[in-house]
Amino acid sequence: MGETITFDYMPAGPEDLQVDQDDPLHGDLLKLNMGPQHPATHGVLRLQMVLDGERIVSCDPVVGYLHRGKEKSAESLGWRKFFPHTDRLDYVQPLLNNIAYARGLESLAGIEVPQRAQEVRVLLMEVSRIMAHLIYLGTTAIDLGAVALFFMTFTEREKTYELLDAYTGHRMNNTYIRMGGVYADIDDDTARAIRTWVEAFPAKIDEFEAMLTGNAIWYGRNKDVGVLSRADCLDLGLTGPNLRGSGEEWDLRKTEPYSGYEDYDFDVPVGTVGDCYDRYLVRIEEMRQSAHICLQALDKLEASKGSEFLLKDRRYVLPPQSSVHSSMEELIHQFKIVTDMRLPRGTTYSCVESSKGELGFLLASDGTACPLRCHIRAPGLLNVQAIPRVAEGRLFSDMVAIIGSLDFVMGEVDR
């Protein structure tokens, strides 16, 4: 375990949540629908609320507006063709979803990924985490009135899009992870561009922090709002930054290391109170740590240059196109993999530390070319579920801060 970072900031302000008895609307319950077409619900989330004046009496999240039946699709598409669908789950971090799914397939097939592919994956996962946290920061800030932050974070995000475009050829929905490695190696120019960006990035985080961390409005809107204790988080099944914000040092990269995370040096930030402000500080520090991991991964990639980045196991990995055109065996391999790639019988659960929490795939194979079951354990769904726990009894204006700080993407929630 690395060093635990805790944040020591101003003590909590006085609780002032008494219902204003002079409020003309007091006692007159109002049923209010927030969403599904509301910019502050970060997607097609609908909240059915009952308000007493400005206080939230009850809140019922209604999800499913973006349900596309991903789990059903997996059962007819087959193992390989489901990859592009994983991009569209949490679409702000497509490569991280790819990796979570690929790890499930590799676990079923019992194959090991080459060292260099692990390093590329770690790099991509950390860039994805930064991309996702930038979305959190930008959208939450604009919802709470800090419009400039939205443009600043999206400017940074645009740069990450350009980097991924240089590597994968797509800005979004990259689908660049394959069973047994990654589709293509990272070339020197791309690695250099990523390094230039990563080295400059911590200064950008300082800029974001300069605008928010000590900002009285930001502090007032987030401090002691949406408090989740450690026990609440565990009861609700929350993981990731939401759990760490409540003081639990649980990060799958440390506790169940995968893709070689045990070889990287990084710290796990944890909060103390579990309010929106703690979760904000945790995510800010996670971005710094991610940048730190990116640099280490780039160093490792420099050292492992030229080694294998995709397994040469022709049961599961497509042969290179050039050899398909010249070798009969390779053509047969390609045909078998594309039309009828079977995985051994068995059930496996593989998970990664996504930006929202524990993203897991429960894959069950009956030995055929299609999954018997592909269940996606979406951390976002549990984050949505936690909204009523923290919102009930609070002021309506806190809802926007709570939605932002719990951080979910509806593509993943509804699947």
Partner 1 sequence: MSTLERMAAILPAGTFVEAHAEKAKDGTLTLELEAEALTQALPRLAAEAGFETITFVTAMDHMDADGAVKGQRFEVCYQFLSLAHGDRVRLLLGVDEENPKAPTATKAFAGAAFMERECFDMFGIVFEGHDNLRRLLMPEAFEYHPLRKDFPHRGIEPDKLYNQWNRERGGAPS
Q: Which residues are near partner 1 by CB under 8 A?
A: 63-64, 67, 69, 71-73, 75-76, 107-108, 110, 233-239, 248, 250, 255-256, 346-350, 358, 360, 362, 364, 372-373, 375, 377, 381-382, 384-385, 389, 414-415
Tokens 């799958």 sit on residue: 252
Least Å distance between CB 199 and partner 1? 35
Residue 15's alpha-carbon distances to 11, 97, 389, in angstroms, are 12, 40, 18
Residue ranges with strand state E in 268-402:
268-269, 346-353, 358-365, 373-377
Min CB(74)–partner 1 separation in Å: 10
Based on CB atoms, which residue is closest to partner 1, 126 or 248? 248
Those residues whose C-beta lies under 8 Å from the C-beta of residue 259, and which sit 6 or more positions away, are: 99, 103, 113, 118, 121, 122, 125
Task: Give the shortest CB-69-to-partner 1 separation in angstroms.
Answer: 6
Classify residue 81 by its DSSP letter: G
Token reading at 251? 């990060």
Provide, rounded to whole angstroms, the least separation between the CB of residue 275 and partner 1: 19
Taking the least distance from each CB to partner 1, the nearer of 131 and 406 is 406
Closest distance to partner 1 from the beta carbon of 179 (Å): 15
Measured distance CA(344)–CA(107) in Å, rounded: 10
Please state the length of the chain. 415
Residue in the structure block whose two tokens are 């009828």:
340
Smallest distance, partner 1 to C-beta of residue 341, A: 17
Q: How far is the CB of 412 from partner 1 (least distance, A)?
A: 12
**CA geometry: angle 147, 153, 157, nearest 5 deg:** 140
Minimum CB distance to partner 1 smaller for 58 or for 190: 58
Give whichever of 26 and 72 is closer to partner 1, judged by the CB atom: 72
CA distance 14 to 164: 46
Nearer to partner 1, 87 or 248 (CB): 248
Which is nearer to partner 1, 193 or 234 (by Cβ)?
Answer: 234
Closer of 168 and 348 to partner 1 (Cβ): 348
Comparing C-alpha atoms, which of 100, 78, 80, 79 is closest to residue 89? Answer: 100
> How far, CA to CA in Å, does 258 sit from each of 28, 295, 307?
54, 18, 20
Map tokens 């619900």 to a residue: 41
Residue 22, Cβ neighbours under 10 Å: how many?
7
Q: Smallest distance from the beta carbon of 361 to partner 1, in angstroms?
A: 10
Are the CB atoms for 111 and 345 separated by under 8 Å?
no
Token couple for 299: 């160093």
DSSP 327: -
Is the Cβ of residue 134 or residue 406 nearer to partner 1 in the bound state? 406
Least separation in angstroms between CB 226 and partner 1: 16
Between 152 and 381, whose beta carbon lies closer to partner 1? 381
Give every strand in the sheet of 46-52, ordered side by side.
29-34, 46-52, 55-62
